[in-house]
Structure 1
């Protein structure tokens, strides 16, 4: 399991690569608890977002099982009118990285590239 420090380091590296990061959290999939988090907006409650996003991932995995899909879930992208929310499962599948970014200032390709690059060695 990755340490909080290594998770925070990965979050910092992603934030250095990507413009418009609103908030980022590493989240335990089973409990929905944040393992590491950083928010750049005081009104963005990462505790609530982490808990609900863990339920979202669990439901997607349940759907995949119901459809008998024999593939791995890599990430989920949710587009809002002013934000992108990216959920990236971390190696091992027991946790995920959740990012909320400003849609107007973030390049989605750069975001996904940075997340993949900095999360490759993490196992949380």
Structure 2
């Protein structure tokens, strides 16, 4: 499983402007399948574990409200970074992507992430 995830991560790092880090994490257990960071002191596995709580909270809210909805993504905008939590169609895992907001274009970032995530859909 790790080779296609490694290729996914490398494509994202190489082609997404402002790339900081990425992680692919299982929603149920919190196990991180893959992580990579272009910044030495940025731990994407740690960030992903905290963001798992955000995903779970939103899934619980959707359930409590009785909504027939699924999460496409969750966007968190910080003062100098954008964090995207892209949840798989079946909710079994999510992709955590952090980019530098001064170098990234949100539309392009999401389009590129969607392009590269197609390569891992159905393999995890």
TM-score by length of 1: 0.91
| Deviation digits for residues 31-65 of structure 1 (CA, Å, limit 9, x no counterpart) | 22210111011111222112111111011000011
* Residue of structure 2 aligned with 1:54, choices 49, 52, 58: 52
Q: Does 1:7 align with 2:5?
A: yes
**Cα contact 1:33–1:47 (8 A) shared by 2:** no
Match of 1:89 in 2: 87
Match runs of 1:13-24 below 5 Å? 13-24=11-22
* Structure 2: distance between partners of 1:83 and 1:8: 23
* Structure 2: distance between partners of 1:83 and 1:76: 14
Structure 1: gaps (5+ residues): none
TM-score by length of 2: 0.91
* Residue of structure 1 aligned with 2:25, choices 11, 24, 27: 27
* Structure 1: distance between partners of 2:52 and 2:38: 21
Shift of residue 92, structure 1, vs aligned partner: 2.8
**Cα contact 1:31–1:54 (8 A) shared by 2:** no
* Structure 2: distance between partners of 1:21 and 1:71: 30
Q: How many residues align?
A: 122
* Structure 2: distance between partners of 1:74 and 1:6: 22
* Structure 1: distance between partners of 2:14 and 2:78: 23
Structure 2: gaps (5+ residues): none
* Structure 1: distance between partners of 2:88 and 2:9: 13
Give the 4+ runs in structure 1 shifted more than 3 A. Answer: none
